[in-house]
Structure 1
Amino acid sequence: MPLTPRVDRTHAGRSAPDALRRRTGNARRRKAAALLASAVSVCLLAASAPAVPLGVGDRLFPHLGNPGYDVASYDLSFSYPGSNSKPLTAVTTIDAWTTTELDSINLDFAHGEVRSVEVDGRPAAFTGAGEDLVVTPDEPLPAGSWMRITVRHTSDPVSADDRDGGWVRTTDGLAMANQADVAHLVFPCNDHPSDKAMFTIRVTVPDGYTAVANGLPTDVDRVGRATTWTYRTQHPMATELAQVSIGRSTVLHRDGPHGLPVRDVVPTKDRAALEPWLKKTPAQLAWMEDKVGPYPFETYGILMAAADTGFELETQTLSLFEKDLFTEPAYPKWYVESIMVHELSHQWFGDSVSPRTWSDLWLNEGHATWYEALYAEAKGGRTLDARMKAAYGASDRWRAVGGPPAAPKPPTPGQKISIFRANVYDGAALVLYALRLEIGHESFERLERAWVQGHRDGTASTTDFVHLASEISGRDLGGFLHDWLYGEKTPPMPGHPDWKAVAPAVASVK
């Protein structure tokens, strides 16, 4: 998820790269109080012990995710009324295994009206607790049992502009942006990347609209003046990576490497203007495969949304981009293409191999930034060494503001995406640069391929990466990488004793 730069019109006479600036504060934010005010509207069917929000203990988001079960699949059904001023009606079905005996089941859900809940086909009591929907079946569920939870609810895009994510309103419909951990503003779920699952997504839209979601289409059913589009993933997916596009859109098809189906979703009226960018994807896929191995999913494509999100997002098999990134003439060609590769590389780093905790975010963004920079060097002449030297100079400041790459500071209250700071982008890519210098190009490239192959369709942690790097290099890298990943100060750069980090400014005390 790179933040989208915005053009600084006061420097129109400077070169295009100098006229760009990252927007870190313009995206509209939702205060925690507003989230609580619009929390799940529920009907309490039975009373028992007070319901409490739970979590899997993530250091950055302690109340997200839920213990006691492992989700196998989600079946999501949305019905779009043809207007963003009304909520969608929805049914979410969750199939899961219990890992402990459960008297009640916590789901993450915080923006919609819950109309009914069933567990294994029988009505269940439910209530809200914080950002959790707490479900009480008519009898406890033993450990190791299979359960099916069906929630009939609404999914509300009305306040989408006031939130960090969830439904994003476009000029002609909706899209999703669920990072970090805001899928539960759209549908009930176990909203943590450590619990990946298969997805089936059904979307019913009025005539004139097209719906596209993660994975491949399995059915198109037209009844009267509405069409239901069904998509299914062939690989497990984290909730934060779910995508649904609803709009007056055209879906364009082309072949990628080895016959991979590539499909792009664009506003129909912009189809011709955007095609020069879209046709670059097959070559970019081939470039990434040459670096790290086969593409890990069943399809890929770009969703160009007519929306102001402030970022681009690696939703699985269908990356979300602001259309303006491709139509703003001040953005140089090499820059736009490198951002396309940033999101593409996330399909390996972050989507196929997902972070076990949000503190492992650097593995996502550091790698995506790394391949973005390599592509900019190969195709745009922007040298990697120059970018890394500049990053080294700023690294101590980034660590002071956001924490070291593998121990980022918690998000600003009410702004979950504020964990996406420079320390996990170029600051984390700097770690990979130092590692490559330390172990050599050949070992580093073997490490990258082994990482995405060994953890494909799973989750992995910083500890896993350190262990694999040590194994492939033939020596213990724990101490070396610990300083780079967790140190308050940036360690010396191997081979570059002349590089200096600029000390962070110290605020005066009055």
Structure 2
Amino acid sequence: MVRSVRLRRPLRHALLAAVVLATLAAAPAAPAAPGRTGTQDAPPPRPAGIGDPLFPHLGNPGYDVLGYDIALTYPGRNDAPLTARTEITARVTDRLPRINLDFTHGTVRGVTVNGRPAAHARAGEDLVVTPRRALHPGEPVHIAVRHTSDPRGGGGGWIRTKDGLAMANQADAAHRVFPGNDHPSDKARFTFRITAPRDLTVVANGLRLGRERAGARTMWTYRTAHPMATELAQVSIGRSAVLRGTGPHGLPLRHVVPERDRRTARPVVDRTPAHIAWMERYVGRYPLESYGVLSVDAPLNFALETQTLSVFGREFLRAAARYPKRAEGILVHELAHQWFGNSVTPRRWSDLWLNEGHATWYEALFTDERHDRGSLVRRMRTAYEKSDGWRRAVGPPAAPRRPADGGRLELFRPVVYDGSALVLYALRQEIGAAAFGKLERAWVSRHRDGTAGTADFVALASETAGRDLGGFLHAWLYGERTPPMPGHPGWKPAKPVQAVKPAR
């Protein structure tokens, strides 16, 4: 993700709308049907989580999702709930008398587990399902939830555009759209079946499998070829034009823009093949089945790397024609996420620096090579001067702090953008450009379609360099103070501003 994409002044990557960590108050259990067996020992319904330090309520233990099949019916207006059915195929990993799913902002109309009706209850932002019997490790399980998906209320998830809807689920908002295991550590393949009025265009992650018209409506079917985190899901419904093209190695490209922006958008999106080819020079072949730009008719002040289809506000494409140098950097930033964040996904949210640091690094490197030689070093020096202040304010790159009151969390801060790119610059200075390039290619190759964390990166960096880099990287990733920059002994952190006492 990049934040603040207006191009009239220098880009700032620091500000994401604060994320609310909801207070999890347990709801009462729905009564179990008489005669059920195997669930008498089930605890009362309560919220669950996998213990992510930044989002402790996200994710659920005891199962591994293999696939989602999500059917949505759009009523033709974006201020009314969509009728929905979400089917989840999973493998049980622990004994489960109950199954927790992350879900809120929708009405649940019925749940089945392996084809049989199951009791369900709400607990905080969880949907707690009680099957007829406890599930055991190794069992396959199929969960089907009939529900609504409500685009009203804000807080992430659905974006209401002028002509329809789109999604922005990062970081903790996919469960405002559909039930699931809403944590990036549990990736799965997705199928979307979207029914909408026939005069609207529907796009989603992956490749289109079908488009079937029935009277005044059309059902669109899309499927991902690679596993995906819930926060990267995308469905867009609107009056859109689809601009197609071909990237390196025959890669299918599709760009989705408001119909009236077709001409304005074409020169911008036509740069995509060159951007992909540039990225492939550094990190190898594009890792997914397709790519494209999604421009939605809404005043977004961020861009987001939803898988295979990066989303931007409509004003971005308009501004890109006037400010192409800044725009290209942002386009490359979101493209880089398809490797860093989408194909290789963080194991927990404190590993976010691996996503945003790399995307910022390649954005800065592209700008340096193509538009402004020397800008990379200047940008890194500026980040170095500010790094101590960022660390004092919100924590170091790999250990961002939660607010002391456990309330609102601004996850997307400068330290995970330029502050994390600075870590990569320091590493390249330490081990040399050739070893750094080898590390980058190995990282996206070894962990393709999977999840990985900070410890994995440190281990691979040490393996690639042929020496232990644990101490070096620990200081850069976790230290309260920014370490000396290799090769730049003259770089100094800015001195903290002293508060001035008011005169009496």
* Structure-2-length-normalised TM-score: 0.93
Report deviation, 1:23: 7.8
Which stretch shows the higher mean deviation, 396-405 or 94-103? 396-405
2:56 equivalent in structure 1: 62
Amino acid aligned to 1:359: S
Judged with a 3 Å threshold, the aligned counterparts in structure 2 of structure 1 residues 308 and 213 are, in CA distance, closer, same or farther, namely same
1:285 equivalent among 253, 256, 276: 276
Q: Structure 1 residue 502 and structure 2 residue 491: aligned?
A: no
Q: Structure 1 residue 472 and structure 2 residue 464: aligned?
A: yes
Judged with a 3 Å threshold, the aligned counterparts in structure 2 of structure 1 residues 153 and 299 are, in CA distance, closer, same or farther, namely same
- Please tell me whether the aligned partners of residues 114 and 143 of structure 2 are also in contact (alpha carbons under 8 angstroms): yes
2:195 equivalent in structure 1: 204
Deviation by residue 1:270-293 (Cα, 9 ceiling, x = unmatched): 111111101010110111011100
2:414 equivalent in structure 1: 422
SS at structure 1 position matched to 2:2:
coil
2:3 equivalent in structure 1: 3
Q: What pairs with 1:223-372 in structure 2 (closer than 5 Å)?
A: 223-328=214-319, 332-372=323-363
What runs of 5+ residues in structure 1 fail to find an aligned partner?
8-15
- Please tell me whether the aligned partners of residues 168 and 309 of structure 1 are also in contact (alpha carbons under 8 angstroms): no
How far, CA to CA, are the matches of 1:170 and 1:131 in structure 2?
Answer: 25
Judged with a 3 Å threshold, the aligned counterparts in structure 2 of structure 1 residues 51 and 505 are, in CA distance, closer, same or farther, namely farther
- Please tell me whether the aligned partners of residues 14 and 413 of structure 2 are also in contact (alpha carbons under 8 angstroms): no
- Please tell me whether the aligned partners of residues 192 and 222 of structure 2 are also in contact (alpha carbons under 8 angstroms): yes
Report deviation, 1:22: 6.2
SS at structure 2 position matched to 1:434:
helix
How far, CA to CA, are the matches of 2:501 and 2:131 in structure 1?
Answer: 56
| Alignment length (residue pairs) | 492
1:481 equivalent in structure 2: 473
Q: Structure 1 residue 399 and structure 2 residue 391: aligned?
A: yes
- Please tell me whether the aligned partners of residues 14 and 412 of structure 2 are also in contact (alpha carbons under 8 angstroms): no
SS at structure 2 position matched to 1:328:
helix
Deviation by residue 1:373-416 (Cα, 9 ceiling, x = unmatched): 01111111152111100110111111112210000122686655
2:432 equivalent among 420, 435, 440: 440
Deviation by residue 1:58-85 (Cα, 9 ceiling, x = unmatched): 0101111000000000000000001011
Judged with a 3 Å threshold, the aligned counterparts in structure 2 of structure 1 residues 229 and 209 are, in CA distance, closer, same or farther, namely same
Judged with a 3 Å threshold, the aligned counterparts in structure 2 of structure 1 residues 95 and 506 are, in CA distance, closer, same or farther, namely farther
SS at structure 2 position matched to 1:60:
coil
Deviation by residue 1:75-116 (Cα, 9 ceiling, x = unmatched): 000000010111001000000000011100000001100000
Amino acid aligned to 1:96: A
* Structure-1-length-normalised TM-score: 0.92
2:449 equivalent in structure 1: 457
Q: Structure 1 residue 214 and structure 2 residue 208: aligned?
A: no
SS at structure 1 position matched to 2:399:
coil
SS at structure 2 position matched to 1:95:
strand
Deviation by residue 1:328-387 (Cα, 9 ceiling, x = unmatched): 379621110010000000000000000001010000000000000011111111521111
2:126 equivalent among 103, 122, 132: 132
Amino acid aligned to 1:66: N
Q: Structure 1 residue 100 and structure 2 residue 94: aligned?
A: yes
What runs of 5+ residues in structure 2 fail to find an aligned partner?
34-41
How far, CA to CA, are the matches of 1:399 and 1:211 in structure 2?
Answer: 43
- Please tell me whether the aligned partners of residues 56 and 65 of structure 1 are also in contact (alpha carbons under 8 angstroms): yes
- Of all paired residues, the percent bearing the same amino acid is 60
How far, CA to CA, are the matches of 1:208 and 1:271 in structure 2?
Answer: 17
Which stretch shows the higher mean deviation, 324-333 or 48-57? 324-333
2:39 equivalent in structure 1: none
Report deviation, 1:445: 0.1
